[in-house]
Structure 1
Amino acid sequence: MAVRREVLGDEHVDRSIARTTPLTEEFQDLITQYAWGSIWTRPGLDRRSRSMITLTALIACGHHEELAMHLRAALRNGLSREEITEVILQSAVYCGVPDANTAFRIAQETLG
C-alpha cells in the first residue's frame, strides 16, 4: 500500500478505497498485493522506467481510462513533461498515431 500511495498519491488511493464494495474488495486486494506489492517493488527497474513502460502499455492497449492517473504518477516518479512527450511520440510509431493522438489529448487535459 505504501508504494501504491507513493506512485498514485494519497488522494487517488483514498478514493479507490472509499469506492470499494463487497464486489470489488478482492480485486482491490489483488491490485495492491500483486501490482504494487510484487511488481512495482522489484529491484530490476526504477520507478521512472516502470512509469514509461506503463504509459506505453496503456497507450498501446487503448486503456485511456487509466492513462490520466499514470501520467500524474509519471510526474511523481520523476519524469518531466518533456520526457512524457517523448514517450507518447515514441508510442505513435509503435502503437499507432490515433492512440498517440488520444494520449496527447489526455495528457493536455491532465497535465495542462
Structure 2
Amino acid sequence: MDEAERKERGFAARRSVLGDAHVDRAIANTTDFTAEFQDLITRYAWGEIWTRPGIDHTTRRLMVMSMMIALNREEEFIMHVRAAVTHGVARDTIKELILQAAIYCGVPAANSAFHAASRLFKEMDAAAGSI
C-alpha cells in the first residue's frame, strides 16, 4: 500500500472509530506545528494499525481504553469511551473494563477512570435529554 492509500484508509478508519465531528475538529485545529503529527497518526495509527484484520474495532477500542487507564491519559480515555458508547459498546462493558484495570493498573488509575467515565456519561445523558 502506498502512502496516499494508507492516509485514505487512515481517515476512513479514524472517522469510523471517532466520528466525523471529532475528525473534522482535529483537521480544523491542525496548525503548521501539528500538521506532520496529524499526518503521522492518520497514516500509521489509523491507516496501518486500526485497519489490520486481526482484531475487530470493538476489541481495539477496549484495548485502547485499558492502555489509556494504565498511562493515565484521561483526555484520550474519554475520547475513546465516547466513541465506544456511540458505536454500541455497553456502559456495563466499560465498567467491567475499568474493574479489570483496577487489578492490573491499580485502584487509583481505575478510580480516575470511573470518575472520568461518570462525568462523560452524565454529559452524554444531559445532551440526549435536550434533544
Same fold per superposition (TM over 0.5)? yes
Alpha-carbon distance, 1:77 to partner: 4.0
Q: SS of the residue aligned with 1:92?
A: helix
The within-5 A match list for 1:28-43 is 28-43=38-53
Matches of 1:77 and 1:42, distance apart in 2: 19
Alignment RMSD, CA only? Answer: 0.9
Among 92, 95, 98, the alignment partner of 1:88 is: 98
Could you list the runs of 4 or more consecutive aligned residues of structure 1 that deviate by over 6 angstroms after TM superposition? none
Q: What is residue 26 of structure 1 aligned with on the other side?
A: 36
Among 69, 75, 92, the alignment partner of 1:59 is: 69
Question: How many percent of aligned residue pairs carry the same amino acid?
Answer: 55
Flag the structure with larger Rg: 2
Give the number of the structure with larger relative contact order, counting CA–CA contacts within 8 Å between residues 6 or more apart: 1
Unaligned runs of 5+ in 2: 1-10, 123-131
Matches of 2:87 and 2:57, distance apart in 1: 6
Unaligned runs of 5+ in 1: none
Q: Which amino acid aligns with 2:47?
A: G
TM-score (norm: length of structure 1): 0.96
Alpha-carbon distance, 1:76 to partner: 3.6
1:70 paired to 2:80? yes
Q: Which amino acid aligns with 2:33?
A: L
CA contact (8 A) 1:59 1:103 kept: yes
TM-score (norm: length of structure 2): 0.82
